[in-house]
Structure 1
Amino acid sequence: MPITAHLRACVELPGAHALVDGFAGESRGDGSHRVLLRSGHELEVHDLAEVLAGERAPLAVFPLPWPGWEHGVHSVGPDGTFAVFSGQRAVRAVGTDGETLWEYRHGCWGPEIGHPHSGDEQEVCRGLEHGSCRVSDDGRLVWAHVVTEPGEDAWEERWVVLDARDGRELAALPLPDSAAAGSRHLSHPDGVHMGLCIGMGQDGVLLHWARWDGEHLTGWDVNSTMDRILVDVHPAHPGFLTVEHYGADLRLHALDGAVLAEREPEAAGEEEDPPCWDWTCGFVDADTVIASTAGADGEGSRHWLLHARTLEVRGAVGYPAGPADASVRPLGDGTWLTCDPDGRHLRRWSERP
C-alpha cells in the first residue's frame, strides 16, 4: 500500500538537480542546510529554508579562484564569511570580496605523472580526477582530500586537517590504496567525526572515518569490500548508511563499520530484472529512512520509506503529482526533497500533512 507524500513547498531554483542528485548541498549539525550553486564564475550560497520560502537572493557570493576548473567539492564556513575551494593543485580559502585568505598547495590531480605546468595558476590540466574539502561545523578546521608528489615517478593521496584560520597543516593520514576519480566529505552531527568517501570508478569505493581531538588524528577505514558508498549519517546516534557500489543492498552501520541492519531492494510489479538501490538516500528523521530504486535499465524509479534501525520496508511513496525523479535528498527533519525532470523546480515533501 503506497504511503502518500504531502507537498510542503515547490520553488523554482536553477541548479536544483545538483542539490538533490549532486554535491551542492551542505548540512550542519545544528540542522541548517546550505545550497552551493555555481553561477558563471561565481559560487552562490543560499540558505535552504529561505529558498523554500521563496527567497532567491543568495546569502553570499564568492568568486571562483580558478574559473576554468569545474571539478572538486567545495565548502563554506558556518558564518558564510569564507569559502574553501578544492582545486586541481591547491586548496584555497577565499573571502566574499574575492581576497585569498590562505592557500594550501598540493600535487596535481592530473593523471599524467610528472607532467609540467606553465606557471599559470589558471592552467587546468587534463583529466576529471579531483578531491574535496569540508569546513568543520564549528568553523575551526578544514578537512581536505589531496594528492602529494613524493617523487618524480610516484604520488600518493592524503587526507589532511588544516587550520581554517591560516591553512596550516595540523595532521595528515596517507591513503595508499586510493586511486580517486573523485571524493566527498560527510560531517557527523556529533561535531567530532568526519567521513570521506572516495570513488575510484570501476575499481570500487573506499570509505574512511576520522576524528581530530586537537592533538591527534585518528582514522579507520571501512573497506572490507571496497565497494560501499557512504550516503548519510544518523541524526541522533553514531550510525551511518551505505549503499553497495552497484546498488545490491543498503546497510546501516555502527561508527566502527559493524553492520547493524541490511536490506536488499524490493521489486514492485512484474519486473524481469531485480531493481537496485540508488545512492541518493538517507534519514528523513531519526526513525525513518527514504531510499530510491530503479530497474536494471534505469527506468521505473520508486521511493521507499524504511524503519531507520532495522531497514524494514514500510511502503512505497506515492506522489499526488505522479512519479518523482529518481533522486531524493532527505533533510533529517521529517522532510525530503525531489527535483522535477526539468532540473529547475525543487519540491519538499513530508509523510504527514
Structure 2
Amino acid sequence: MPARARLCATVPALLPSSEADLPEVFGLPGRRLLAQRGDSALVVQALDDALVPSGGSVRVPAPWPRRRGTWAVAPDASLAVFAGVHAVRAVEPSGATRWEVRHGCWYGACRELHESYEEYADSKDHRYPEGGSAGFSVDGTFVWAHVRGPLAAGELGPDVVDEWLLLDATDGRVLGRADAGAAAAGSFHLPHPSDPRQMGLSIGEGQDGAPLRWGRWDGRTLAVEYVEGDLTLMSVSPSGERLMTVTHDQDALAVRDTGGSVLEGLEWAAGTAVPRHPDAEPDNDEALPYWDWAGGFVDETTLVGSTVEGDEEWGEGRHWIIDTSGARTPVEVTYPVTVGPQPPTALGDGTWITPAKSGEALYVWALD
C-alpha cells in the first residue's frame, strides 16, 4: 500500500524562477525562514508555525553573482554569509560588510590571494571554479566555513588543500582551523539541531569521491571526525544523534551515528530495497533504481528519500517513505497534485517539502 501525502501548506516563492534559484526553508519549528538567492541579492522571509509568510521580507545585497558561490543565513535573518571564490563575506541587510575572511582561490590553477571579486570577474579561466560553503550554527553564534587554503593570515601546512574553519559570527575571528582532508568540487553544511558546537560537512569531489566530516568545538579545539567511505550527508535527525547518508555511487541509503557507523538494520541497497520503475525494461541492468543524493528525517524515525534521477528515463520520479521503527521497507509516496521533478527535503517535524512543478512555490507535506 502506498504512503499517501497530505498537503499542509503552499509557500509562495519570493522571486520569479527565471531570476533565482529554488527557494529553501531553514531553521527549527517556530523559527522557520524562507530564503531565495536571486541574481543580485538574497531575499529572506520569516514563516509562522503554519509556514505562512510573517512580516516583511529582508533583502541582503550579494557581493558577487549567484553562480560564483554559496550562501547561508543567520537564524534571525540579521546576517547573511556568502562563500565565494576568494573569500567568505558576512553582509548585513543594509549592504554593509560586517567581516570578510580571505582564502586561496577556488580556481585550481590560480595561486593568488585575491583582494576582490573584480580581479577575476571577467577572467574566462575563473568562470567555472570549484567551491566551498558556509553554515551557521543552530543559535547563530558561529559560522562554519569550508574554504580553499591558505588563509591570508597563514597556512596549516604545505600539503593542506581545503580547510574547515570555525568563525565567530559577530566579527569573523577564526576560532578554530582544521584540515578538511579533501580537494573539493563543492560542499554544504548541516548543523546539529540543538548544539551550536557541532556541525556536519558533506564534500563533493566530482567523480573522485564524497568525504563526510563531523566537527566538534570544545571551546579551544576544533576536532574533526573523518567518516570512512564516500558518503553524502543528507540530513541530521531532530535529536542530533542520527545521520542520513547515501553512498557516492548512490547504491545504499543508511542511518548512522555521528561517528559514521551504520545503525543495525538501517541500510537499504536501492537495487534490492526498491522495485524497478513500472515502465523500465525488466532485463536491462541500467534500469535498476538508485538513490538520489537528497532526502531527510521527516521525524526521528521516519525517512523520506527518492529515486528521481534514476527514474527519469522511464517516467515520473518516485519518492519513498521508510519507517525505521517499523517495517523498515521503503514505501512509495503518492501525491494529490503534480509535484516538481526535484527530490524532497525533510523538515524534521513530521513534514517534508517538494517544489511545485513551476518552481514558483514549495509544497509542504505530511503523511495522511
Please state which band the TM-score falls in when normalised by the shorter chain. Answer: 0.7 to 0.9
Q: State the match for 2:256 in structure 1.
A: 253
How far apart, CA to CA, are the structure 1 residues paired with 2:320 and 2:306? 6
Task: Kindly indicate whether the alpha-carbon contact (under 8 Å) linking 1:210 and 1:219 is maintained by their aligned counterparts in 2.
Answer: yes
How far apart, CA to CA, are the structure 2 residues paired with 1:185 and 1:6? 29
Matched residue type, 1:340: A
How far is the alpha carbon of 1:184 from its aligned partner?
A: 0.4
Q: 1:278 aligns with which of 266, 282, 292?
A: 292
How far apart, CA to CA, are the structure 1 residues paired with 2:108 and 2:163? 16
Q: 1:314 to 1:91 in 2, by over 3 A?
A: closer
Task: Write out per-residue CA displacement over residues 136-171 of structure 1, whole angstroms, 9 at most, x where no aligned residue.
Answer: 1222211101112459x9762100111112111111
Q: Identity of paired residues, percent?
A: 37
Q: State the match for 2:301 in structure 1.
A: 287
Q: State the match for 1:97 in structure 2.
A: 94
How far is the alpha carbon of 1:308 from its aligned partner?
A: 3.2
Q: 1:104 to 1:311 in 2, by over 3 A?
A: farther
Q: State the match for 1:88 in structure 2.
A: 85
How far apart, CA to CA, are the structure 2 residues paired with 1:259 and 1:292? 20
Q: 1:201 to 1:154 in 2, by over 3 A?
A: same
How far apart, CA to CA, are the structure 2 residues paired with 1:292 and 1:163? 36
Task: Write out per-residue CA displacement over residues 277-301 of structure 1, whole angstroms, 9 at most, x where no aligned residue.
Answer: 1122111112211111137463431
Partner SS for 2:67: coil
How far apart, CA to CA, are the structure 2 residues paired with 1:73 and 1:111? 18
How far apart, CA to CA, are the structure 2 residues paired with 1:285 and 1:157? 33
Q: Which runs of 5+ in 2 are unaligned?
A: none
How far apart, CA to CA, are the structure 2 residues paired with 1:346 and 1:3? 20
Task: Kindly indicate whether the alpha-carbon contact (under 8 Å) linking 2:185 and 2:204 is maintained by their aligned counterparts in 1.
Answer: yes
Q: State the match for 1:267 in structure 2.
A: 275
- What RMSD over aligned residues (CA atoms) do the two structures have, in Å? 2.9
Q: 1:23 to 1:210 in 2, by over 3 A?
A: farther
How far is the alpha carbon of 1:57 from its aligned partner?
A: 4.4
Task: Kindly indicate whether the alpha-carbon contact (under 8 Å) linking 1:302 and 1:326 is maintained by their aligned counterparts in 2.
Answer: no
How far apart, CA to CA, are the structure 1 residues paired with 2:327 and 2:170? 41
Q: State the match for 1:313 in structure 2.
A: 329
Partner SS for 2:170: coil
Matched residue type, 1:63: P
Residues 100-111 of structure 1: pairs in structure 2 closer than 5 A:
100-111=97-108
Matched residue type, 2:87: A
How far is the alpha carbon of 1:314 from its aligned partner?
A: 5.2
Partner SS for 2:167: strand
Matched residue type, 1:148: G
How far apart, CA to CA, are the structure 2 residues paired with 1:107 and 1:206? 20
Matched residue type, 2:275: A
Task: Kindly indicate whether the alpha-carbon contact (under 8 Å) linking 1:78 and 1:138 is maintained by their aligned counterparts in 2.
Answer: yes
Q: 1:115 to 1:104 in 2, by over 3 A?
A: closer
Matched residue type, 1:43: L
Task: Write out per-residue CA displacement over residues 106-155 of structure 1, whole angstroms, 9 at most, x where no aligned residue.
Answer: 111112132586x654233333311111121222211101112459x976
Higher relative contact order (CA 8 A, sep 6+): 1
Q: State the match for 1:187 in structure 2.
A: 191
Q: State the match for 2:26 in structure 1.
A: 26
Partner SS for 1:122: helix
Task: Write out per-residue CA displacement over residues 168-197 of structure 1, whole angstroms, 9 at most, x where no aligned residue.
Answer: 111100124x11111100001131310111
* TM-score after normalising by structure 2: 0.84
How far is the alpha carbon of 1:50 from its aligned partner?
A: 7.6
Task: Kindly indicate whether the alpha-carbon contact (under 8 Å) linking 2:47 and 2:53 is maintained by their aligned counterparts in 1.
Answer: no
Q: State the match for 1:9 in structure 2.
A: 9
Task: Write out per-residue CA displacement over residues 200-247 of structure 1, whole angstroms, 9 at most, x where no aligned residue.
Answer: 11111010001112112111111x32x210000111251100011232
Task: Kindly indicate whether the alpha-carbon contact (under 8 Å) linking 1:252 and 1:309 is maintained by their aligned counterparts in 2.
Answer: no
How far apart, CA to CA, are the structure 1 residues paired with 2:249 and 2:48? 33
How far apart, CA to CA, are the structure 2 residues paired with 1:13 and 1:52? 12
Q: State the match for 1:38 in structure 2.
A: 37
How far apart, CA to CA, are the structure 2 residues paired with 1:323 and 1:64? 30
Residues 1-353 of structure 1: pairs in structure 2 closer than 5 A:
1-13=1-13, 24-28=24-28, 32-49=31-48, 52-53=51-52, 57-58=56-57, 60-66=58-64, 68=65, 70-114=67-111, 120-123=116-119, 124=121, 125-149=126-150, 156-176=161-181, 178-191=182-195, 192-222=197-227, 224-225=228-229, 227-260=230-263, 261-265=266-270, 266-268=274-276, 269=278, 271=280, 272=282, 273-294=287-308, 296=310, 298-299=312-313, 300-309=316-325, 312-313=328-329, 315-322=331-338, 325-352=341-368
How far apart, CA to CA, are the structure 2 residues paired with 1:293 and 1:339? 16
Partner SS for 1:70: helix
* TM-score after normalising by structure 1: 0.87
How far is the alpha carbon of 1:270 from its aligned partner?
A: 5.7
Task: Kindly indicate whether the alpha-carbon contact (under 8 Å) linking 1:244 and 1:250 is maintained by their aligned counterparts in 2.
Answer: yes
Q: 1:230 to 1:277 in 2, by over 3 A?
A: same
How far is the alpha carbon of 1:71 from its aligned partner?
A: 3.1
Partner SS for 1:215: coil
Q: Which runs of 5+ in 1 are unaligned?
A: none
How far is the alpha carbon of 1:90 from its aligned partner?
A: 1.1
